[in-house]
Amino acid sequence: MTRSELVAALAERAGVPQKDADAVLAAFAETVGDVVAKGDEKVIIPGFVTFERTHRAARGGRNPATGETVRIPAGYSVKVAAGSKLKDAAKGK
């Protein structure tokens, strides 16, 4: 499903214009991005999904083209975990 298809589906289910649904989706994405960027709290939609920032330690890696060992610096990543309702939907329940 593309973003425009998602916006259309949200607008239809909520009974609002697509412009409003798009604005809400954009605000949601921006808010989640801001919270994850800070890293001091999670965004939790109970039963559906959780977003949180995680720390990745420095580690060694290998350049696949040359086989040379390289050092990968520490950094941050995003962990997205599916909630029980989303998992049940994926199972077809």
Shared-domain flag, residues 20 and 51: no
Shared-domain flag, residues 8 and 24: yes
Q: What's the confidence (pLDDT) of residue 93?
A: 80
Q: What's the confidence (pLDDT) of residue 64?
A: 94
DSSP string, 6-44: HHHHHHHHHTS-HHHHHHHHHHHHHHHHHHHHH-SS-EE
Shared-domain flag, residues 19 and 48: no
Contact yes or no for 77/42 (Cβ under 8 A): no
pLDDT mean values, one per 10 residues, the chain (93 residues): 96 96 97 94 95 96 94 96 94 88
Structural domain that includes position 57: 41-93
Shared-domain flag, residues 46 and 89: yes
Q: What's the confidence (pLDDT) of residue 27?
A: 97
Shared-domain flag, residues 68 and 93: yes
